[in-house]
Amino acid sequence: MKRNGILNADISRVLSYMGHTDTLAVGDCGLPIPEETERIDLALKLGVPSFMEVLEEVAKEMKIEKVVLAEEIREKNPKIHEEILELVNKMDTECSVEYVSHTKLKAQTKTCKAVIRTGETTPYANIILQSACLF
């Protein structure tokens, strides 16, 4: 049994087999997940677990070189947007932020290794994380 870190077996497995430039998404409970993309459903009830709780834990175990956000998050969910930017700024490696339309972000989830579904109920609380090289 793991002593700490992410205990969810599916998240731990996906993180362990990701390579450089592979992507993983974390989304709110309303984000549509393509049939061809693995769904890791953590949603227990509305709001639980929160988007930021899940994102913070994933970020502790993943070396991230880029994040992709929907342009709409800036206006429609400034609180989560600010929290994401704070998290990115605290990372131990340089991480770029890319903004795309929400429609394009949803389309990009088709190529993600998995989408982690949270219980988040605020709008546009979705992110795609691009894996950096470990060395």
The reply to whether 20 belongs to the active site is yes
Burial 36-66, CB ≥16 within 10 A → b, else e = eeeebebbeeeeebbbbebbebbbeebbbbb
Set 7, 9, 12, 20: catalytic member: 20
Inter-residue contact 30 to 105 (CB < 8 Å): no
Residues with catalytic roles: 20
